[in-house]
Chains A and B, each alone.
Chain A
Amino acid sequence: MVATPAHLRRSAAALGNEEVLRIRNDFPILQQHVNGFPLVYLDSGATSQNPLSVLEAEQEFYEQRNSAVHRGAHHLAVEATEAFENARETVADFVGAEWDELIWTSNATEGLNLLTYSFLNASLPGAGPEAARFALAPGDELVVTEMEHHANLIPWQELAARTGAVVKFIPINDAGALDLEAAAGIIGPRTRVLAFTHASNVLGTINPVAALVALARSAGALVVLDACQSAPHLPLDVKALDVDFAVFSGHKMLGPTGIGALYGRSELLNAMPPFLTGGSMITTVTMERAGFLPSPQRFEAGTQRISQAVALAAAVNYLSETGMDRIHAWEAELGQRLVRGLESIPGIRVLGPAAGQERIGLAAFDVAGVHAHDVGQFLDSRGIAVRVGHHCAQPLHRRLGLAATTRASTYLYNTTDDVDAFLNAAADVRAYFQA
Chain B
Amino acid sequence: MSLDQLYQQIILEHAKARHGSGLAAAAAPMDASSGQSHQLNPTCGDEITVRVSVAGGKVSELRWDGDGCSISMASASVLTELAEGMSVEELRTVIDSFREVLRSRGKVPADPEVLGDAAAFEGVSRYAARVKCAMLSWVAAEDALGQAAGRLTAAP
Contact of A373 among B3, B12, B133 (CB under 8 A): B133
Interface of B with A (CB < 8 Å)? 2-3, 6-7, 12, 15-16, 43-47, 67-71, 73, 127, 130, 133
Q: Is the CB of B45 within 8 A of A390?
A: yes
Q: Is the CB of B45 within 8 A of A374?
A: no
Contact of A374 among B2, B43, B67, B69 (CB under 8 A): B69
Interface pairs (22), CB distance under 8 Å: A370-B70, A371-B68, A371-B69, A371-B70, A371-B73, A372-B69, A373-B46, A373-B71, A373-B130, A377-B7, A377-B130, A381-B2, A381-B3, A389-B43, A389-B44, A390-B45, A403-B67, A404-B44, A404-B45, A432-B3, A432-B7, A433-B70
Name the residue of chain A whose CB is nearest to the CB of B68. Answer: A371
Contact of A377 among B6, B67, B73 (CB under 8 A): B6
Name the residue of chain B whose CB is nearest to the CB of A381. Answer: B3
Q: Is the CB of A378 within 8 A of B16?
A: no
Contact of A394 among B45, B67, B127 (CB under 8 A): B45
Interface of A (DSSP majority class): mixed
Digitize A118-159: 1 where CB-to-B-CB distance is under 8 Å, 0 elsewhere. 000000000000000000000000000000000000000000
Extra pairs beyond A377-B3, A434-B12 (11, CB < 8 Å): A371-B70, A372-B44, A374-B69, A388-B44, A389-B43, A390-B45, A403-B46, A403-B67, A404-B46, A433-B12, A433-B15
For the complex of A and B, 8 pairs with smallest distance between CB atoms: A373-B69, A371-B69, A381-B3, A403-B45, A389-B44, A404-B45, A374-B70, A374-B69
Interface of A with B (CB < 8 Å)? 370-374, 377-378, 381, 388-390, 394, 397, 403-404, 432-434
CB contacts (< 8 Å) of A388 on chain B: these are 44
Q: Identify the interface centre among A373, A403, A432: most chain B CB within 10 Å of its CB.
A: A373
CB contacts (< 8 Å) of B7 on chain A: these are 374, 377, 432-433
CB contacts (< 8 Å) of A432 on chain B: these are 3, 7
Instruction: Compute how far the CA of A381 lies from the CA of B127 in the bound complex, rounded to whole angstroms.
Output: 12
Q: A232 to nearest B CB, angstroms?
A: 24
Instruction: Compute how far the CA of A40 lies from the CA of B114 in the bound complex, rounded to whole angstroms.
Output: 41
Instruction: Compute how far the CA of A397 lies from the CA of B130 in the bound complex, rounded to whole angstroms.
Output: 22
Q: A226 to nearest B CB, angstroms?
A: 22
CB contacts (< 8 Å) of B43 on chain A: these are 389
Name the residue of chain B whose CB is nearest to the CB of A380. Answer: B3
Name the residue of chain A whose CB is nearest to the CB of B13. Answer: A434
Q: Identify the interface centre among A374, A381, A404, A433: most chain B CB within 10 Å of its CB.
A: A374
Instruction: Compute how far the CA of A394 lies from the CA of B68 in the bound complex, rounded to whole angstroms.
Output: 15
CB contacts (< 8 Å) of A373 on chain B: these are 44, 46, 68-69, 71, 130, 133
CB contacts (< 8 Å) of B70 on chain A: these are 370-371, 374, 433
CB contacts (< 8 Å) of B73 on chain A: these are 371
Instruction: Compute how far the CA of A374 lies from the CA of B74 in the bound complex, rounded to whole angstroms.
Output: 12
Q: Is the CB of A389 within 8 A of B45?
A: yes
Instruction: Compute how far the CA of A404 lies from the CA of B70 in the bound complex, rounded to whole angstroms.
Output: 13
Name the residue of chain A whose CB is nearest to the CB of B67. Answer: A403
CB contacts (< 8 Å) of B127 on chain A: these are 377
CB contacts (< 8 Å) of A434 on chain B: these are 12, 16
Instruction: Compute how far the CA of A378 lies from the CA of B127 in the bound complex, rounded to whole angstroms.
Output: 13
Q: A151 to nearest B CB, angstroms?
A: 15
Q: A375 to nearest B CB, angstroms?
A: 9
CB contacts (< 8 Å) of B130 on chain A: these are 373, 377
Q: B128 to nearest A CB, angstroms?
A: 12
Instruction: Compute how far the CA of A390 lies from the CA of B42 in the bound complex, rounded to whole angstroms.
Output: 9
Name the residue of chain B whose CB is nearest to the CB of A390. Answer: B45
Instruction: Compute how far the CA of A389 lies from the CA of B7 in the bound complex, rounded to whole angstroms.
Output: 19
Name the residue of chain B whose CB is nearest to the CB of A371. Answer: B69
Q: B58 to nearest A CB, angstroms?
A: 33
CB contacts (< 8 Å) of B71 on chain A: these are 373-374
Instruction: Compute how far the CA of A142 lies from the CA of B155 in the bound complex, rounded to whole angstroms.
Output: 52
Name the residue of chain B whose CB is nearest to the CB of A370. Answer: B70
Instruction: Compute how far the CA of A388 lies from the CA of B47 in the bound complex, rounded to whole angstroms.
Output: 16
Name the residue of chain B whose CB is nearest to the CB of A402. Answer: B45
Instruction: Compute how far the CA of A381 lies from the CA of B130 in the bound complex, rounded to whole angstroms.
Output: 14
Name the residue of chain A whose CB is nearest to the CB of B3. Answer: A381
Name the residue of chain B whose CB is nearest to the CB of A405. Answer: B45
Q: B95 to nearest A CB, angstroms?
A: 22
Q: Is the CB of A378 within 8 A of B3?
A: yes
Instruction: Compute how far the CA of A371 lies from the CA of B127 in the bound complex, rounded to whole angstroms.
Output: 17
Instruction: Compute how far the CA of A404 lies from the CA of B12 in the bound complex, rounded to whole angstroms.
Output: 19
CB contacts (< 8 Å) of B12 on chain A: these are 433-434
Name the residue of chain B whose CB is nearest to the CB of A398. Answer: B45
Name the residue of chain A whose CB is nearest to the CB of B1. Answer: A35
Instruction: Compute how far the CA of A198 lies from the CA of B68 in the bound complex, rounded to whole angstroms.
Output: 31
CB contacts (< 8 Å) of A394 on chain B: these are 45
